[in-house]
Amino acid sequence: MLQGRTTVSKFLIEQLRGADDQADLAALLVDVTAAVKAIAAMTAKGALGGFLGSLGTENVQGETQKKLDVLSNEAMIQSCEWGGLVAGMASEELDEPYALPEQFERGAYLLVFDPLDGSSNIDVNVSVGTIFSVLRMTRLGEPQMADYLRPGLEQVAAGYAIYGPATMLVLTVGKGTHGFTLDREIGNFILTHPDLRIPEDTSEFAINASNERFWEPPVQRYVAECKAGKTGDRGRDFNTRWIASMVADVHRILMRGGIFMYPRDTKDPARPGRLRLLYEANPIGMIIEQAGGAASTGRQRILEVQPESLHQRVPVMLGSKNEIERLERYHREYDSGLDKPFVSPLFKDRSLFGDGVRA
């Protein structure tokens, strides 16, 4: 029964066979899986583990830290700092890059992560995850901030774990996107979803609709058209989902298609979006592109955005290619003043309140 099963270590060794530092990359990713297993064990204990609730502290972004945010951060650091594989690490939960203790050898890679994504869902027992991105140092010496501020196209690996009914790990080293399921009895991630592909078309979208009044017109137009369904411009019905854990929404999209949006909004003008470029948008963007999907800010490919700061936020739209291209077109049309004035589908001629005159 066990024969013929591909563990994540075997898979990585095979995918990265070749140059020496590729073996180091495989070893680093195996260290990441060790942290992910520790986090999976903590999340699975729920209220019995004493890990639920808040710490009362805030991270650099002004978000209240949950106990599990901090414990997951420690699990990632402890699992990856010792092996001479990383030159440095940065995390959502740390203001500055982690200061790697002097006694540990330095490696070639930078690991950037969101230790627990969707942490508002912990206390209500809804799926959460871990997101990670790996960059390669381009020079010798201790990493400086500029070494971390590199566009997503330079990532050499990226992935996420989802702690759901099953714990899964989804990763890419630039050769497709592959999914592994944790066999809890044996403690191994087993390749169960090789070569994931996102359908190019979809009728499902995910967005936090409570922010609708703050969105830009192209996003309002897109969502209004989807909601108008069969009676509107799109001529077919759409379905919505919103889990409030990016990993969980993204995982659904990898499994059956769909799009996810956390667009720019005017709720807090100081923030150009909700999600962070380096450890949320970039790794998920690479995973999505490697599965044949698209990832955009609405105006630019996410992986081409030049980062300016460690915790920088970006607008995010990703998933099924044809819908993301449509969203980009709506942004272009809006920016160039080409689109017709936006009129809610409720007031168009084919709708309930229409007067027969097309807007």
Q: Which residues bind ligand AHG (CB under 6 A)?
A: 63, 92, 114, 117-120, 208, 244-246, 262, 274
**CA–CA distance, 194 with 196 (Å, rounded to integer):** 6
Q: Which does 307 bind (CB under 5 to 8 A by kind): Mn ion, ligand AHG, none?
A: none
Which of 250, 266, 263 is CA-nearest to residue 315?
A: 263
Which of 357, 322, 275 is CA-nearest to residue 61?
A: 275
Q: Which does 274 bind (CB under 5 to 8 A by kind): Mn ion, ligand AHG, none?
A: ligand AHG
In whole angstroms, the minimum distance from the beta carbon of 10 to ligand AHG comes to 31
Closest CB to Mn ion among residues 27, 250: 250
DSSP string, 258-305: -EEEE--BSSSTT-S-SEEIIIIIHHHHHHHHHTT-EEE-SSSBGGG-
In whole angstroms, the minimum distance from the beta carbon of 207 to ligand AHG comes to 9
Q: Which does 216 bind (CB under 5 to 8 A by kind): ligand AHG, Mn ion, none?
A: none
In whole angstroms, the minimum distance from the beta carbon of 240 to ligand AHG comes to 13
In whole angstroms, the minimum distance from the beta carbon of 280 to Mn ion comes to 5
In whole angstroms, the minimum distance from the beta carbon of 243 to Mn ion comes to 12
Closest CB to Mn ion among residues 136, 274: 274
Closest CB to ligand AHG among residues 190, 281: 281
Q: Which does 31 bind (CB under 5 to 8 A by kind): ligand AHG, Mn ion, none?
A: none
In terms of C-beta distances under 8 Å and separation of at least 24 residues, what long-range contacts does 334-337 make, across chains too? 334/216, 334/217, 334/218, 334/221, 335/299
User: What phi and psi, each to the nearest 5 degrees, are found at residue 32?
Assistant: -60, -40
**CA–CA distance, 276 with 231 (Å, rounded to integer):** 36
Measured between its terminal Cα atoms, the distance across the chain in Å is: 63
- C-alpha triplet 203, 205, 209: angle, nearest 5°: 140
In whole angstroms, the minimum distance from the beta carbon of 279 to ligand AHG comes to 9
Q: Rounded to an integer, what is the distance from CA 250 to the centroid of its chain?
A: 7
Q: Which does 245 bind (CB under 5 to 8 A by kind): Mn ion, ligand AHG, none?
A: ligand AHG
Of positions 24, 31, 81, 114, contacts Mn ion by CB under 5 A? 114
Q: Does 117 bind Mn ion (CB under 5 A)?
A: yes
Give the gyration radius of the chain's Cα atoms. 21
Footprint of Mn ion on this chain (CB under 5 A)?
92, 114, 116-117
